[in-house]
Amino acid sequence: MAPVRTIAVIIAMEAEAAPLVEHLKLVKARESPLPGPIPALVFSGDVHGAKVHVVTNGKSAAFGVDCVGTVPASLTAYGICLALKPDILVNAGTAGGFKAMGGAIGDVYLASAFKNHDRRIPIPGFDTYAIGAVDAFPTPALRAAMGFKDGVVSTGNSLDAPEVDLASLKANDASVKEMEAAGIAHTAELFGVPFVAVKAITDIVDGDQPTADEFMENLGAAAKALQGAVPKVIEFVAGKELSAL
């Protein structure tokens, strides 16, 4: 296997990405290299001998907010795989954790697998397709070196967690709840691009505070946690063969 020379990091929200972009001294592309009308923003630079691209989904022209959820994430990942041809794709972002699974605000997780918790199709064959379980690219050396928590990342298109989703999250054995990773995993699998995810916890799904309030309260701190975690991942990955990860 050839060494990792191009690393793409996909992050949904600009507020999540900004501290990392500044820390890595990346430069925003004047014109997006991604194909079509995808509103993604691309920030690039050389880091630890590798070409690193941090890509956000961009903002919705119709609504003026960050494009979040599985559809924008999948489209952005598709554009990244086509145009930037990364050796490895990393999804970094904020997420919900579970006190029942030992999660706490500020924890950083390196995903072990990706599943969906809000796609329910109770027809044989389609039921497992809906969950869409995909294992993260195996990185035993990276996991040992980073010391992050380990767990299943479960994806849905809603910030809240009604009872029906909580049942699915429990069935998924989820340690992390978020809104992008399973969609990105689907795209990465299509292209055969190794995919890992690093998630910082902003809110506790099975806690006492309203999710939206807790998320906004801890977004800045979680973004800074990613600023500390993701460069370590990049440094470890850059220049190594995939089999050494």
Q: Give residue 222's pLDDT.
A: 87
Of residues 165, 180, 203, 214, which has the active-site annotation?
203
Of residues 16, 66, 87, 180, which has the active-site annotation?
16
Q: Note the pLDDT tens digit of each residue in 168-213.
A: 999 999 999 999 999 999 999 999 999 999 999 999 999 888 888 9
Number of other residues whose CB lies within 10 A of the CB of residue 193: 19
The answer to whether residues 94 and 201 touch, using CB atoms and an 8 Å cutoff, is yes
Domains and CATH numbers, the chain: 6-238 (3.40.50.1580)
Tell me the CB-side half-sphere exposure of residue 186, using CA atoms within 13 A.
18
Say whether 203 is catalytic. Answer: yes
> Measured between alpha carbons, how far is 41 from 57 in angstroms, rounded to an integer?
7
Say whether 189 is catalytic. Answer: no
Mean pLDDT of 205-229: 88
Q: What is the dihedral of CA 53, 93, 112, 206, to 10 degrees?
A: 180
Q: Which residue has the tokens 């050796």?
A: 87
Q: Are strands 6-11 and 88-97 parallel, antiparallel or unpaired?
A: parallel
Inform me whether the pLDDT recorded for 1 exceeds 80: no
